Amino acid sequence: MIPLHDDNPTELTPVVTVGFIAACVLVFFYQASLPVGPDNTFVFQYGAIPALLFGEADLSETALPIPAYATLITSMFLHGGWMHLIGNMLYLWIFGNNIEDVMGHARFIGFYLACGILAALSHALTDPSSAIPMVGASGAISGILGAYVLLFPRATVLVIMPGLGTTRVAAGVVLGMWFVMQLLSGGMSIGSTGGGVAFFAHIGGFVAGMALIGLFKRPNVRFFAPSCRNRWGG
């Protein structure tokens, strides 16, 4: 199922969510404007490469203009293609505004980056010697999904069901099914070589979001609220 919209109004204008979307889109346009050779170089320079993160490979300063650990952040703003970008930005727009709303702008920035870093490390730990760069915002967005499922599992989400059209489903069901798919796909990907979807980044990000939401949300925001209308404690 493909989510289109959630019935979960916000009070704050999601300026950080919009800012992250704009940054990803702008970086993608810049990346797409590069010739094929420089484009690949750009991805290797700013994508998160497990072998570099764990010191199992080395590149010259020309090839890697920033410290390897900094790519844990820069990799969040790169994407591998149009569908990769559109899919990530759709999920970020639908679910990110509510998480920003319960944290405030500054805390949301910290939460987003922390989830993205932990997600990238989760992926890197599955194959520390890999020289394939990981790119994409999906790890950080997975953290948002993990937070959302704890805060608003009963909020309704408008989704497209293949062959059935559109319907409204509880967010807990939508995100629960998504997480189960990541677990199954991640399990089947163990031992495979080459690039592909970083399922363990999704898994790690989701778990990180669930673990960190209690630290980042405002104290009076309740868990398991039906929607933002009912999020505040009495």
Average pLDDT for 176-184 = 95
pLDDT, position 61: 45
For residues 172 and 139, give the distance between their C-alpha atoms in angstroms, rounded to a whole number.
Answer: 19
pLDDT, position 171: 96
Residue 1 tokens, joined: 């199922």
pLDDT, position 14: 97
Residue type (1 letter), 47: G
Average pLDDT for 1-17 = 94
How far, in Å, are 185, 221, 230 from residue 196 at the CA level?
11, 37, 40
Average pLDDT for 104-112 = 98
Domain ranges of the chain: 2-230
Which of 137, 85, 148 is CA-nearest to residue 112?
137
Out of 117-121, 175-179, 197-201, which region has the weakest mean confidence (pLDDT)? 197-201
CATH class of the domain defined by 2-230: mainly alpha
pLDDT, position 180: 96
Phi and psi of 157, rounded to 5°?
-125, 130
pLDDT, position 78: 97
The reported pTM is 0.91
Provide the pLDDT confidence category of residue 39 given band limits of 50, 70 and 90: low
What angle is formed at CA 172 by the lines to CA 171 and CA 176, rounded to 5 degrees? 115
For residues 97 and 82, give the distance between their C-alpha atoms in angstroms, rounded to a whole number.
Answer: 22
Highest mean pLDDT among 13-27, 63-77, 218-232: 13-27
Phi and psi of 64, rounded to 5°?
-130, 90
For residues 104 and 124, give the distance between their C-alpha atoms in angstroms, rounded to a whole number.
Answer: 30
pLDDT in tens, 131-174: 899 999 999 999 999 999 999 999 999 999 888 889 999 999 99
